[in-house]
Amino acid sequence: MSAPEVVVGLSGGVDSSVAALLLRDAGVPLAGVFMQNWADDGSGDCRAEDDRRDAVAVAGRLGIPIQFRDFSREYWDGVFAHFIEEYAAGRTPNPDVLCNREIKFKHFLDAAQALGAGRIATGHYARVDHARGRWRLLRARDGGKDQSYFLHQLGQPQLAATLFPLGELPKSDVRAMARDAGLPTAAKKDSTGICFIGERDFRSFLARYVPAREGEIRTPDGQVVGTHPGVFYFTLGQREGLQLGGVRGFAAAPWYVVDKRVEDNVLVVDQVRDSPWLMSNVTRTAAAHWVAGAPPASTFEARAQTRYRQPDEACTVTAHDDGTLTVRFARPQRAVTPGQSLVLYDGDECLGGAVIASTDAPRAAASAGSG
């Protein structure tokens, strides 16, 4: 078999299936690779084997060869270990960002090039173009499916070697193409969450790696309103899972997490959705990654997302000599969360981003005391 020009990552989902379909129909010499990123832990909750079978069936339907690569050790070392460390420290990490950087656009790209391919393709909803001497990462045309947020750690070498065949398409068209082509994944439900957690309970999974420690749930003024199973199970702004219904002396209204005090194992909650404890104007980050290799300027205007699917917001960015950023928003932002990624845009162009380190949101520790 001659070397393929492009290797497509076949995940067993409809998006990667249609990416392969489009490339095959364009006459591109093509091969598929299925990546195993998580070793089966025997729980039956991670559907990797089902996905593998679907990927094989798609490759057979399209008449393209498929190979398999086990990246579970690389995933553990490059993604999962960091995921656990961050949760244990009380932060909320985003493993999909690391998975793209460490696995799909590093180890997978290396594997594809070892097969003789010049480029890889994935089913991500994003676009790449080349303008003014550099590669640009752009939002997908379908704003509701855009995944550039998760791809902001890519750089010039990765973008030069990557195709995103779905970048111009709405998801409805992708489903229709799969159906018309008779692909076995046409009606398959989109995967959500993280494979290594699957459909199981998040808390019971995390407790296997981060020992649970019960503590008090308090209001910002220090009143104890309940207990929690571990502060690392919760994220800022969260309202589900607190089990605080009918607290004596308080209104029958939802409670929201407004602070996680790892140092004394206290979870702080408020009944105001946009509590002042959740609102910040300034965010500081770890060292940033720039798609172009460098920031546009030492200080510049941009728009930022602090969570996936959150509307971007106008901000002023200051890039410091050590690579870190100070980002000042035009309007106060709710629940900006350390450990998550702050991703910067200029129109449709993704400039890059960084992990959120801290914000100027007031901490409830000042008034809640130590009990």
Q: Which residue type is seen at 95?
A: P
CA distance 97 to 146: 14
CA distance 271 to 227: 16
Report which of 118, 120, 107 is spatially closest to residue 36, judged by C-alpha positions. Answer: 107
Residues 6+ apart with CB under 8 A from 240: none
Judge contact between 4 and 117, C-beta under 8 A: yes
Tell me how far the alpha carbon of residue 40 is from its chain's centroid: 22
List residues bridging with 34 in a β-sheet: 68
Catalytic: 99? yes
Tell me how far the alpha carbon of residue 158 is from its chain's centroid: 18
User: Which one of the listed residues 46, 99, 315, 350 is annotated catalytic?
Assistant: 99
CA distance 51 to 74: 19
Q: At what angle do helices 14-25 and 48-62 cross, to 10 degrees?
A: 20
User: Which one of the listed residues 46, 195, 315, 350 is annotated catalytic?
Assistant: 195
Catalytic: 315? no
Q: Which residue type is seen at 337?
A: T
Q: What is the DSSP letter of 250?
A: S
| Active-site amino acid positions | 99, 195
